[in-house]
Amino acid sequence: MKKMLVTLSPLFVLIAAAAAHADNTPAPAWHYNIGAMYEIENVEGQEDDKDGLYEPSVYFNAAYGDWTLSVAMYQEGPADYSNFTRGGYFNRPEMSVRYQFVDNEQATFGVTGNVRNYGYHFKNDDGSRAGTANTVRYGLTPDWNITFDPRWSFNGWLSLYQFRNDLDETGYSDSRIEAETGIKYKFNDTVSLKTNYYIERGFNIDSDRNNGEFSTQEMRIYLPIELGTNTFTPYTRLTLDRWSNWDWQTDLDREGHNFSRIGLFYGHDFSNGLSMSLEYAYEWEDHDDKHSSDDRFHYAGIGVNYAF
C-alpha cells in the first residue's frame, strides 16, 4: 500500500495543482458580436446585362469559453446569365460552431463546422418564375497560428466542403477544398508583412459528373499598418494557376484564366465596441479562351460590427 501511494503521489500532485489552477481561473463569460456587410462586384462594360452581383449579409456570434456559435444570412445577388435571371432573395442562411482546442502565447488551434444553404430563384426573360434550387454546403475548417518568436509566425486555415441537392441546376461540383496559409513577419508594432499561398479547388467525387470543376492558386501578400485605432492593409493577389469549366451546359473544356488583384482594406475601432471596415479592389481578368474577352473587375465592401 505504501509503495502504491508513493507511485501515485505525483499524480495526486498534478491533480491538486490543476484544481488550484481551476479555482484561480475566472469563469468564462459570454461575448457577442453583431454586424452587417454589404459587398458589390462588377465587371466593366457589363452593366446592361447585369453581369455583376451585390451580397448584403448580417451575422451574430456568441462566444463562451472555447466555444463560438455563429449564424449569418446572405442575400442572393441578381445576375443575368444570357438565358435566365436570378432574383434577389435573402435566402442563404449559414450556421457554424467553432471549438478552440489550443490557445496560448505559442500556438492556437481551432476547428469550425458549418452548414450553408445556397438558394436560387430562377426567372424567365419576361420576369416570370422558372423554378428554384437549393444547394446545401457542409464544411469543416481547422485554423492555426504558431508563433516562433516575437517577429515570426505561421498561420492559416483549411476548409473541406461537400455540396448536396440540385447540383445540376446550380452548376456546383459536389466537393471543394479551400485554404490559405503562410508566414507573417512583424517589423514593429506598426507594420507587418504577410505572404500567403491560397488554393480553391472544386471537383467531383462522382466520376460521371464534371460540372463546376475549377482550380485557383494564388500568392496573396498583405501589408497591415496599424496606427492607433486605424488599420490600413494594402494587398495583392497574384495568379499562379487558374482554370474552370463553369460553362458546363455548352462546353466541358477547361478555360484558362489569369486574374491578378490589388486592393486596400481599412478598419477603424471606435473603442466603444463599435468598429467598421471599408475595402476596394481592382482586378485584371485575362481569359485564355477564344470566346471570351479580357475583363476588368471591381470589388467594394463596407462592414460594421458591434461587440458586447
Interior CA angle at 163 toward 199 and 178, to 5°?
A: 10
Name the 3-class secondary structure at 128.
coil
Task: Give me the pLDDT at residue 138, please.
Answer: 98
Cβ neighbours of residue 263 closer than 8 Å, sequence gap 6 or more: 234, 235, 236, 237, 279, 280, 281, 282, 299
Q: Is-contact 231 223, C-beta < 8 A?
A: no
Task: Identify the residue whose cell numbers are 456546383.
Answer: 172
Task: Give me the pLDDT at residue 170, please.
Answer: 82
The CA–CA distances, whole Å, from 224 to 144, 153, 159, 188 equal: 19, 14, 24, 11
In terms of residues, how long is the chain? 308
Q: Is-contact 50 87, C-beta < 8 A?
A: no
Q: Where are the domains of the chain?
A: 28-307
Whole-prediction pTM: 0.81
- Please give the Cα distance from 199 to 139 (Å, whole number): 16
Which segments within 124-273 are labelled E, that is strand? 129-147, 152-164, 175-186, 192-203, 214-222, 225-227, 230-244, 255-269
Q: Is-contact 111 131, C-beta < 8 A?
A: no
Task: Give me the pLDDT at residue 12, please.
Answer: 43
Task: Give me the pLDDT at residue 131, please.
Answer: 76
Name the residue type at position 194: K
pLDDT digits (tens, 9 = 90+) for 267-282: 999 999 999 999 999 9
Smallest CA-to-CA distance from 56 within 268, 306, 300 is with: 300
Smallest CA-to-CA distance from 155 within 163, 146, 164, 165 is with: 146
Task: Give me the pLDDT at residue 248, please.
Answer: 45
Name the 3-class secondary structure at 23.
helix
Q: Does domain 28-307 have CATH number 1.10.3720.10?
A: no
Interior CA angle at 294 toward 290 and 299, to 5°?
A: 145
Total Cβ atoms within 10 A of residue 285: 19
Task: Give me the pLDDT at residue 164, please.
Answer: 94
Q: Which residues of the chain have pLDDT under 50?
A: 1-22, 48-50, 80-85, 248-251
Task: Give me the pLDDT at residue 121, please.
Answer: 74
